[in-house]
Structure formats: C-alpha cells, structure tokens
Amino acid sequence: MRTTDTLKTRRRIKDIKFEISYGSFVTAATVYLTLPVLIFFLGYLKIVPGILFSALTLISAYLFLKNKGTSDRKITLDLTYLLVIIPLILLMVFIGGIGEFGFSMSDHSIRYAILNDLVEYKWPVVYDFSTQQNPVVASVLGEGKAAFAYYFVYWMIPAVTGKLFGLTAARVTLLLWTAAGLFIVSIGACLMYGKASKALFVGLMLFAGFDVIPYAVNNLMGVWSTWERWNAELIVVGNFYQLMNVFNQCIPGWIITLLLILCVNGRGIGFLGSLMFCYSPWAAIGVLPMCVCKMIVNSDSRSFKGVMKTLLTPENLIPPVVFFIAFASLYTANSNATSEAGFTWTFYDSPLIFLRDYILFVMIEFGIWFLLIRKRHPQDPMFLTAMATMLVLPFYKITYANDFLMRGSMAPMFLLSVYVAMFVTDHFYRSLNSRKFELLPRLVLLTLILAAYTTLNLMLYSSIMTVKIRVMGDTEDDISHNIVSFGNIRKEDELEVIRTQFYVYDYEDTIFFKYLSK
C-alpha cells in the first residue's frame, strides 16, 4: 500500500519542471559547436590569423543568435525525463566506446591516438621519426618529420583538459562532452516532436536501415556479409553505429541538422553549413543541399531579390570564407588521404551489377522508411531534399571506405531518422493508450525492431565485450590501444593507414603549416 509520504514525494518529483525554448536550444547548440573551433584557432594558429579568425567567428555567432528569429516551439522537461534520459545517454556513449573505457570498435585505436597526441604533443603536432621504437616502422619511415592533419576539432576541449590534468582526464572529458552533445540532440528532437519523449530518444538510437534482410539472404546463399555491410561499395550505417565509429562527426552533424530544420529564417544558414565543414568535410557534402533548400524556403520572398537579401548577410558570408581558408588548407595538406576516387560503377565488374546494388541500396537503407512516412511529409522541402541527396550520393566514390557516401549521408539520413522516430513514437503511445487491440501500431514497432537488428546486436556485443575486457581482464580484445600514438607506432601493419591518412610530409611547404599554423 502506498503511503501518503511516498505519494507526496512522487508528486514533488513530477512537479520539478524545466522549460526549454527554441531560443535556449539554439544558443546551447551554437556554443557547443563554436567553442572547439575557437580553441583550435587560438591554440593552433599564429597570433594574427588566430585572433582574426576567432573574432570573425564570434561576430558571426553573435549575429546568428541575434537574428535567429522567434519561434513558439518549446518543451517542458520534468525531473523523471532527466532521470531516465541522462543515464541512458551516458550508457549509450559508454557502450559506444567513447573515451575507450569499455569495448571499442577498431576505429578507436585511431581515435585514442588522436586524443593522446593532441594532449602529449605541442600544437601543431609534428612527429619526429626518430621517436619510432618499432624497428620495422623506423626503417620504413627513415629520417625526417611529418605533421599531423585530420578533422580533429571535436577533440579540442578534451585535449585542453588533458594538457592540464592528464590523458585520463581528457578521456573522461571526451565521454562527457559527447554525452552533452547527445543531450542537445535529444532536446532538439523533442522540440521537433513538440514534447519531451523518452521513447523518441530510444527510437533515434535504434534507427537504421533494413540491412538485416540482405544480411540474412546472403548468409543463406553463402555470400560474405556483415551486419551493416552487404555490398561492395554502397554503405550507410545506423545512428548508433555512427556514434560508435565517428562520434566526432555525427554529434556535430546531428546538432547542425536539427538547427537547420528548426531555424525560422535563412540569415545564418551559411554559418551552420560552414560549421559542419570544421568537423567533417564529408558530412558537409550532405549538409550543403539542405542549406540551399532552407535558405530558399526561409528567404523573405520567393523572388531572386528576396533570396539574395537573405543570402547576403554577414553571418552567411563571413563564416564560409574563414572556415574554408583555415580548414580546407589543413585538410588538403595531405594529398594522399583521398587518393581513391571516381564514379562508383567503375569499381564494379559491370554497370549492371552496380545498378542492381544501387536499387537494393535505395530500398533497403531508406526507401522502405520513405514509403512508410511520406504521407506525413508530402510537401516538406527539407525532407524531399534529403531524400534526393540520398539518391545522388551513391553515384560517386571518394576514399577506399567511400567516406563520400558513408559520411556524406550523415545529415540527410539523420533527418530521416528524426521523422521516423516521431512516426514510431506516435504509434508507440497509441498502442499504450488504446483500450482495444490495434494491429497497425504494433506492426510499426515491429518494423523498427526489424531495422534495429544491427543496432541491438552492436549494443549487446559491446556490453558483453566490455564485461569481458574490464571485469574478466581479457586485454587481448581491447583493440583501442593498438596504436596509442602516431609518433610511436607499435604495430607495423598500422603504418600504411597512418602514413596515408594522417601524415603530412614536407609540411613546411603547405599553405596551412607555412602561413597559418604556429
């Protein structure tokens, strides 16, 4: 029997509420995205460009926030929502391997080394090959130096923490910084939905394509396949898989996508789109069409003059120039990272095989979801632009892993995932509140579970492996420490990837290291 005190306590918990408005969300998201960029400018660049670029970025951010417009979108969070969502977010980033405290995917050996070197080395990071202790690696590299280049802005705040308090503090900060970003994502999704919903966040984390279908077929036919990769070149992964592998790209990308959807005018679209370039040149490709769409839709009128009035604002013009100068010069300092490129069908044995895979890719990865939710968004220009972008991206390939598609699809696929999560959440609440059995809501939930086969497997596998590594002490499965530092590569089989993707030879002759960096 419930006591009076217990009932009063529960009422008091539910009575604790926090109102989140459109304006407060935009402000928090802008600060989150801008702060690491400012640290990069002030810590990595020479005094003059560092101060100049920082000042222009701050002015642009200020104008963006000042002219963001007004919206009546707001949500109310009660304490029970926070008591569920915050631990759930921390669990997601932990089993996702962020900070490498639990089990980590193979890419985290690279992520660990990036943070380690940003903490341990003076900025800009330059490697002297004489520090290589593996004799095979040392003999291949010989004498000389190489600079470090990559899209590493996301690590700036953890790196600063690490310089003050050590690498472990940096790893903890990375985990918490990612959790904070994921919380901002959850708030933005709730603003789109119109109310705080724990089920909505779960739907976002479970979202994926229907890769289980070709995976099962391939297994029956004895054809090689993995949970997420069932064809040779066309790869798009679910939200949790993105978090596990490229948190440094997907968290900023998800926040920027939500800002683009929610923004009520076009005055700061250039600021948002170019911010994506700071975190990921590949994700910026998928964001660009959405930026153009939003700028046209949110212009003062549909006339050319109205579009130009919206376009020609300081917050639209200044950031693209500043960020392009700084980051394009950094990314292009290493010309080897994008050596494999071309039309995708040229990587197939025949164009017909590509056409077959393309049709299956469209249906499996986003086509089924599009068909299920299209009636809810029949004339939504952002939704249609995202889907059109997904139809075009598969025709070209850049890098061996096809980052052009895999990361370029990040923003349009996340937009789709938000719409799908809202669709599924509606049916979830409908099934809970219905007094009679309804088949449709349950079919919708089963559809999400079918698509979430890969995600659920990844969550379970990561949890089991974390227990195996951290509780049972099986360090052989802890692959996150395979590299540790690009300045002292432990295993020679990692050398070629590092040389190709992260080393800049003759860096003194490149624009970035000659004119911009310290």
β strands within 297-436, DSSP E: 341-343, 396-398
Distances (CA, A) of 340 to 230, 289, 346, 441, 488: 21, 24, 11, 45, 27
Question: What is the side-by-side order of every strand in the sheet holding 145-148?
Answer: 126-128, 145-148, 503-504
The Cα–Cα gap between 199 and 107 comes to 30
Predicted model pTM: 0.93
Cβ–Cβ under 8 Å, residues 177 and 36: no
Q: CB of 290 within 8 A of CB of 260? A: yes
Rounded to whole angstroms, how far apart are CA atoms 117 and 147? 11
Q: Could you give the CA distance from residue 252 to residue 234 in angstroms, rounded to a whole number?
A: 23
Phi-psi region of 473 (alpha: psi -120 to 50; beta: other; left: phi over 0): left
Place of tokens 């395979």: 482
Q: Is the previous residue joined to 124 through a cis bond, with omega within 30 degrees of 0? A: yes
Look at residue 283 in the predicted model and tell me its pLDDT. Answer: 93
Q: Provide the H-helix boundaries in 16-155.
A: 22-44, 47-66, 79-95, 108-120, 135-141
Amino acid at 87: P
Q: What's residue 104's pLDDT?
A: 80
Q: Which DSSP string do the residues of 484-511 spell out, in sequence order?
A: S-TTS-S-GGGHHHHHHHTEETTGGGSH
- Cβ neighbors of 182 (< 8 A, separation 6 or more) are 89, 92, 93, 243, 251
pLDDT of residue 1: 47
Closest by CA to 245, choosing from 229, 265, 266, 269, is 229
Two structure tokens written together for 458: 């990844």
Which among 243, 202, 311, 262 is positioned nearest to 30, based on CA atoms?
262
pLDDT of residue 159: 97
Low-confidence ranges of the chain (pLDDT < 70): 1-14, 299-307, 337-339, 434-435, 437-438, 475-478, 480
Is there a contact between 324 and 288 (Cβ–Cβ < 8 Å)?
no
**Whole-number pLDDT of residue 337:** 65
Q: What is the pLDDT of residues 97-137, one digit of tens each?
A: 899 888 887 788 889 999 999 999 999 999 999 888 888 88
- pLDDT confidence of residue 3: 56
Tell me how far apart the alpha carbons of residues 315 and 267 are, in angstroms, rounded to a whole number: 7
**pLDDT in the model for residue 308:** 73
Instruction: Output the furthest CA–CA distance in the chain (Å, rounded).
Output: 77
pLDDT at position 87, please? 95
CB 100, CB 41: distance < 8 Å: no
Question: So what's the pLDDT on residue 477?
Answer: 64
- Who's near 511: CB < 8 A, 6+ residues apart? 329, 332, 333
Using CA atoms, how far apart are residues 216 and 107, in angstroms rounded to an integer? 26
Tell me the per-residue pLDDT of 230-279, one tens digit each, with 9 for 90 and over. 887 888 999 999 999 899 999 999 999 999 999 888 888 999 999 999 99
Q: What is the pLDDT of residue 483?
A: 82
